[in-house]
Amino acid sequence: MMSTNKDIAFKDLQNEFEAYTALVLKQLRLLETVIENESECQLEGYITEIKKNEKTINEYEIKISESVINIIVLYTPVATELRNLISVYRVSLNVEKIGDIVINIINEIKRIRDYKTFYSFSDTIHDVLIMSISMVERALQALADKNMDNAIWTIKNDDIVDEFHRSFVKKIVKKKLPHVKTHEEMKTFLNLMSIASNIERIADNATNIAEAAIYLSVGKDVRHKHVDLDSLS
């Protein structure tokens, strides 16, 4: 009976986790739609849906954390099961952070008043957002199927997003801010830099998920270490 109950508990946790990550991926795709949609009148509907989903995401994170603790306390998991639980717990925190970052970006977009300036940069923002979303998707896939190639790809691409952020902010500070003509234009450039910083944080959390996937697959903690990633594949 104990073994059966444990199996059910693990299955329930897996179902909760899959629904949780699917909802956050949906949030990212809705955010992509907001960034690429140049119709101001359509933004409110997408933003309302994103904010409604955020409440469910927070509820999932709490429920998953409680489920992990309950399984550890009630069923004394063996080493491989414990590694799985630790990975799920670590990833659930990063997924919740990604959900929060989506809300941060939405709030920055809502503060924008100079949409002409914003949309002049939206293609660039959209491209790096797509990269960050792909990193999250492939990191979660690596966790699901223990695919080291997806995990390694995610970690390596974090440097690309970091470089985008540095060059984007540098471009605005050196080439745009000195020539600002209105207060609204200035505020929009600040909004754009904040959006870029938040997208970089999405990529950072994707990298953390990929590191958790490596830990789950091979039992190696690669956080804060110089590791030959190619040797893991």
CATH number assigned to the domain comprising residue 198: 1.20.58.220
pLDDT grade for 224, boundaries at 50, 70 and 90: low
Question: What is the rounded average pLDDT for all residues in the chain?
Answer: 91
Q: Count of CB atoms within 10 A of residue 132's CB?
A: 29
> Which residues make Cβ contacts (< 8 Å) with residue 198, sequence separation at least 6?
101, 104, 105, 108
pLDDT in tens, 80-130: 999 999 999 999 999 999 999 999 999 999 999 888 888 889 889 999 999
- The tally of domains found in the chain comes to 1
In angstroms, the CA 228 to CA 233 distance is 10
pLDDT in tens, 20-53: 999 999 999 999 999 987 666 677 889 899 999 9
Residue range of the domain that includes 177: 2-232
| Whole-model pTM over 0.85 | yes
